[in-house]
Structure 1
């Protein structure tokens, strides 16, 4: 099987992390981008080295999917550790294991602590839990690869407590731009759903309270869905089985062909197949279909299980991001959830670089009244946020006018080179959160950056890498940026080194005054 370019890059990056001594590393791929294929190829590489591998997951569907994809993509078969099934005595080098089974001491102790050379964790955002940690600590000498679709920096910080590095990340916007996933259009339904009385549990909303809070709105929601999405193929996520069952009856009364599945459904496989074959056009579920289920023809997702957990939200939306013949986009329906805090996940959080941009996007989507393309909204919101930051920066620089500086403030540098990734950087791994080293601070100062406000090693490393890259690409230095922006020129960070040098030479030859005919506000380099 020939891998897509990003899949091959991911495969090579993972191997490189292990070679460089980073034993616990992460792969982040959006739902639908072939994470199982990637780790199957990684498994194939390690088997060629003579290793034994364990694939861990928390649901049977994920284990079956991993075993199936592994055999189809590499020809490798595997043994299973799940309930009464055991790999003991098997000669297969790959084992797929249920975490619920593997965590039991009697099961674990059947293996030597060094039995597995490499462990793959599917849906790695679960791995911080006690059950996973028990298994991982038992096989502590093994290399570990965690695979997740989470787009959230908060989740990444949590995972950073265990993993040492991020081997590779492929973002949702990149996948959509490259044509590997469906474009997403988001629309806010103008219904005020009050969640202010809903309790909190385990860092998220309490599902029992959510079901009660939703009940009064179900008829109105169904009516809006009929107006907007009656011709779409829809998956609806709800907090409780009884709420899901109630909503199915309401949807059918409006004219939808709706069905429901839950963990106790005896006919679950049949219902899913019928939905796949268009016997139904709406499928309701109580969080059953967040992982390990694919139906690429789904072109509308309705999230009636509001959440603060980005990984969970991403999984729900991911049920509709795959490509399918005749499918032009995924319609994601959001609501005017009323909460006392601003922690709720919205469509914007799927692609926004930071919370500031996400809030600007959400406001824009809420006010539109029509479906909006997420990428288009993100670009506009990012531009607006940058403009606001530039305005704030201008005020800040005006206040600092009297203070002479030989160095460039990091924020000024980031805004000048239009580096949103630097401006919104949040450290994720342990080493990144530590204070910058003396060497980093000295090097930054030597290269023209004021290091006083750089408070972590990760930001220092990112800035130094960017400065090295800019030098290689022949772009302006911090000192050139400072000199020219002090004289009113904008975005000097986007100019070439030679353009800035030529202009500075002209200014010097003109008695250190801007030459006549040069308008700093309009000048953009040669």
Structure 2
């Protein structure tokens, strides 16, 4: 049988044949119709029921995909993952079907979207290839699919996101009636989309370029140094105290990978996960230096060293079900996720839910909540150690900086915003101007030192500016994935030898690559992501002989985040972030300098005045999380996954439920419950907690279920649960059961524990509760009645607040919050 086949009709038959036996089924299509979903749903359901790994990615390009098709896909089986690629008007035309089983695999790519005519009797050409034709290409296709499936541009399909898409779909077709489709009852008459003139988009394919690794630090005998000493102590203490996961936040240049290797010495088997191959290879070398007596191997698209003591795995390979299940859930004692902010992507969910290590460690330099809102959730909010680049500069562990904010008069409000970036063509029209290039050159000449990295927004801008500087007599290189004249290794070596004055680049030096000798950073791009900006700043702060400070030259215009990016340089941001308005000009370390053009100061002050009001921002962030989850988030989920701090909802609305009431998120019955019992909800939210005891007693009450939780309770009835809760985790015991008075209660004694409960939470809470709670005759009781029809709703809300407050309490007491 031919291993390569042209399929020009009845693609459906081939798809159903492959689905009937495949354990992995990945579908990528630019649009989907309800008729196409109907044809495949039985085959998809049967495959899902036998445990196949099924992922389907559908595009929203030109809003051709029908909302009914999306609803149909998620209704087939709950284990099928469906995501929508939000193209934001950019061409999205892929059509591919990937299948794999224990014996082999099959790959179909061509012209057929997910519709009846495309799968049956339409004029379509598709090429089917057996995996054995080229296993490397097949592996690359699988990995590229997963990268696209979990890309930031995709959203999970659920009830909330389908409703949102449907509104956009209807609006688009009302505005553009020529896009409307005419449907017969049994057959669709499709308009096949004409190919648009492709916009020139330059996607950085760093895995196709030369790999440059971070220079090994001069460790000598390989011992922890600088921040690593403190961080290692905190990590080991967290492990000894019963934590099973934690995050370490260390600025670029302080040796996060070596820290992880030092910590890994106490574990037998280690899994190191990253999203880029150069990070994996660099980490493997670092671990081999620290732990030379262990075997180390790669697990990615090319190598499968699953039996090594230390396995360094690509997340995109590992998230495939067949690869994940090739390991036992308890195969690793320690799992490390590098650049942990990437773990917020859903690609990590399956992996981190599957494995059961003794400890999960996330390491990152940039866990900014606004960009990486899920990062804290994955480690339960446990930040064992944190030092950002400002603190490291203050302690002499990173180089000082001199920052120059140069005013940019470009009006970015006229450039289309595509949700997470500016429209490239419109941005280029503003950037590729001789007068703009001359202004950039003058600023660079005025402030530069010897070796410069220039961060651009696109390849065309990098090429344009590099050529402009060359015409003015400077030695420069434009370094990106399309560059063939010079490799990264060559360019970096030339820069270090001062044979180049500057390298113009596009995101090649964000992670995993360092040039310590760089002493000048030039930013000629709008700051779209604070995480990326922080990573890029870190490229110039490594200590290097002869480098007394790093110059940072930054164009300041009215682009998004321009008025908040300078907070990253502020030594007092923790003090000022709770004030009504933060200062525009930050306070930098004594060894550093910060200078802003007067026009830039005025611009930033004006932008700050126009920032989105807090209520609207909190509502937008809530809605985003609700869409991701497909339902209303719990209070703790809001805290762990939300873009904004959950405490802000309490500050603004009195309680989380108060926010839900304001936002119109409650049913009529829920509104009734909220209005009747609001004082109780506010009391549970706001009662002072010097210890966890109040919420632990409330949790003991809640253990009795929705119909009995509000019944009176005695200290004796609460004692066993109270003691068990506070002693089952070492950190709880140490935090709330470790002073001279309570340390005696480590061994359970009902009488002594009951006396503590009576004196501490019950008496004190009753006295401060404004009549909502009483404690008389050894009975702790709520002083209000609850209607039977209100019991379950109030129980759920009370439980949500209780769980949230206990979680946050132990975070704060352990010093684990930001």
TM-score range, shorter chain: 0.5 to 0.7
Structure 2 CA distance for aligned equivalents of residues 186 and 154 of structure 1 = 23
Aligned counterpart for 2:334 among listed residues 107, 113, 118: 118
What is the distance in 2 between the residues matched to 1:137 and 1:143? 13
Q: Residue 517 of structure 2: which of 265, 275, 297 is its match?
A: 297
Tell me the equivalent position of 2:324.
108
Structure 2 counterparts to residues 33-182 of structure 1, below 5 A: 33-46=254-267, 50=268, 52-75=269-292, 76-88=294-306, 90=307, 92-141=308-357, 143-150=359-366, 152-155=368-371, 157-164=373-380, 165-182=382-399
Alpha-carbon distance in structure 1 between the residues aligned to 2:423 and 2:270: 37
Say if 1:364 and 1:20 are closer, same or farther in 2 by CA, change over 3 A: closer
Shift of the 157–222 alpha-carbon distance from structure 1 to 2, 3 Å rule, reads closer
Q: Contact 1:80 / 1:86 at 8 angstroms: preserved in 2?
A: yes
Alpha-carbon separation, structure 2, partners of 1:458 and 1:67: 35
Is the aligned partner of 1:200 residue 2:417? yes
Instruction: Tell me the secondary structure at the aligned position of residue 311 of structure 1.
Output: helix
Provide the TM-score with structure 1 as the length reference.
Answer: 0.67
Alpha-carbon distance between aligned partners in 2 of 1:427 and 1:211, rounded to the nearest angstrom? 38
- Paired with 1:465 and 1:54, the residues of 2 have a C-alpha distance of 27
SS at the partner of 1:45? coil
Deviations 1:196-246 (A, max 9, x none): 133334544455544443223641343323432454311011111121111
Query: Residues 241 and 37 of structure 1: is their aligned pair in 2 closer, same or farther, counting only changes over 3 Å?
Result: same
> 1:156–1:428: 8 Å Cα contact kept in structure 2?
no
Q: CA distance change for structure 1 residues 11 and 202 in 2, over 3 Å: closer, same or farther?
A: farther
Q: Does structure 1 residue 315 correspond to structure 2 residue 535?
A: yes
The question of whether the paired residues in 2 share the 8 Å contact of 1:427 and 1:459 is answered with no
Name the counterpart of 2:115: none
Displacement of 1:248 in angstroms is 0.8
CA distance in 1, matches of 2:814, 2:299: 44
Secondary structure of the 1:132 match is helix
Bigger CA drift: 254-263 or 135-144? 135-144
Matched with 1:349 is: 568
**Contact 2:444-2:522 at 8 Å conserved across structures:** no
Instruction: Give 3-state SS (helix, strand or coil) of 2:409's partner.
Output: strand
Deviations 1:277-316 (CA, angstroms, capped at 9, x unpaired): 2221201111111111111111111122322422211100
1:244 corresponds, among 462, 466, 477, to 462
Aligned with 2:474: secondary structure? coil
Give the deviation of 1:26 after TM superposition. Answer: 0.6
Over 3 Å counting, the alpha-carbon distance change for 1:132 and 1:202 in structure 2 is farther
- Match of residue 512 from structure 1: none
Deviation at 1:24, TM superposition (A): 2.6
**Contact 2:402 / 2:593 at 8 angstroms: preserved in 1?**
no
CA apart distance, 1:439: 4.5
CA gap of 1:9–1:329, structure 2 versus 1, over 3 A, is same
1:462-502 deviations in Å (ceiling 9; x for gaps): 99899xxxxxxxxxxxxxxxxxxxxxxxxxxxxxxxxxxxx
Shift of 1:139: 1.6
Number of paired residues?
404
Instruction: Please report how far the alpha carbon of residue 53 of structure 1 lies from its aligned counterpart in structure 2 after TM superposition.
Output: 1.2
Separation (CA, whole Å) in 2 of partners of 1:364 and 1:148: 24
CA distance in 1: counterparts of 2:510 and 2:370, whole angstroms:
20
User: Which range is displaced more, 30-39 or 277-286?
Assistant: 277-286
Q: Does the 8 Å contact 1:186/1:333 carry over to 2? A: yes
Question: Could you tell me whether the CA contact under 8 Å between 1:122 and 1:147 is conserved in 2?
Answer: yes
Task: Select which of 477, 481, 484 maps to 1:263.
Answer: 481
How far apart in 2 are the matches of 1:329 and 1:358? 33
Q: Tell me how far apart the structure 2 counterparts of residues 364 and 21 of structure 1 sit (CA, whole Å).
A: 39
Query: Is residue 199–residue 206 contact of structure 1 (8 Å, CA) maintained in 2?
Result: yes
1-structure distance, mates of 2:811, 2:346: 33
SS of the residue corresponding to residue 127 of structure 1 reads helix
1:124 is displaced (CA, Å) by 0.7
Establish whether residue 233 from structure 1 lines up as the match of residue 451 from structure 2.
yes
Q: Distance in 1 between matches of 2:550 and 2:647?
A: 31
CA 1:202–1:130: 2 relative to 1, 3 Å? farther
1:421 maps to which residue?
A: none
- Closer/same/farther in 2, CA of residues 85 and 256 from structure 1, 3 Å limit: same
What is residue 230 of structure 2 aligned with on the other side? Answer: 9
The aligned counterpart of 1:410 is none
Deviation of 1:182 after TM superposition, in Å, equals: 0.4
1:146-171 CA deviation, whole Å, 9 max, x = no partner? Answer: 11111635356532222211010123
In 2, Cα distance between the equivalents of 1:202 and 1:162? 25
CA–CA distance in 2 between the matches of 1:359 and 1:374?
Answer: 26
TM (normalized to structure 2)?
A: 0.44
Moved more, 273-282 or 192-201: 192-201
Distance 2:477 2:540 in 1: 17
**What do you get for the CA RMSD once the two structures are aligned?**
3.9
Tell me if structure 1 keeps the 8 A contact 2:451–2:496: no
Take 2:581 and 2:522, find their aligned partners in 1: how far apart are those partners? 20
Deviation at 1:31, TM superposition (A): 0.5
Gap regions ≥5 residues in structure 2: 1-221, 596-643, 649-655, 657-683, 695-759, 771-803
Check 1:39–1:202 CA distance in 2 against 1; reply closer, same or farther (3 A cut): farther
1:80/1:351 CA distance change after superposition, 3 Å: farther
Q: How much has 1:32 moved relative to structure 2?
A: 0.5
User: RCO greater where, 1 or 2, for CA within 8 Å and sep 6 or more?
Assistant: 1
2:507 is the alignment partner of 1:287: yes
Report the Cα distance in structure 2 between the residues aligned to 1:66 and 1:451, rounded to whole angstroms: 54
Choose 235-244 or 66-75, whichever is displaced more.
Answer: 66-75
Q: Provide, for residues 399-430 of structure 1, a one-character-per-residue CA deviation record: whole Å limited to 9, x for no partner.
A: xxxxxxxxxxxxxxxxxxxxxxxxxx96799x
Q: Structure 2: how far apart are the matches of 1:451 and 1:263?
A: 64
Q: Kindly tell me: are residues 206 and 77 of structure 1, through their superposed partners in 2, closer, same or farther at Cα, counting changes over 3 Å?
A: farther
Q: State the structure with more CA Rg.
A: 2
> In the TM superposition, what is the alpha-carbon distance from 1:142 to its structure 2 partner?
5.4
Cα shift readout 1:91-148 (whole Å, capped 9, x = no counterpart):
x310111122222222222222222222111111110112122222222555211111
State the partner residue of 1:400.
Answer: none
- The question of whether the paired residues in 2 share the 8 Å contact of 1:296 and 1:323 is answered with yes
Q: Which string of whole-angstrom CA distances, capped at 9 and with x for unpartnered residues, describes residues 367-420 of structure 1?
A: xxxx99785669xxxxxxxxxxxxxxxxxxxxxxxxxxxxxxxxxxxxxxxxxx
Give per-residue Cα distances to partners, 1:305-348, cap 9 Å, x unaligned.
Answer: 32242221110011100011111111111223113x55655344
Matched, 1:31 2:252: yes
CA distance in 1, matches of 2:375, 2:509: 23
Contact 1:427 1:458 in 2 (8 A): no
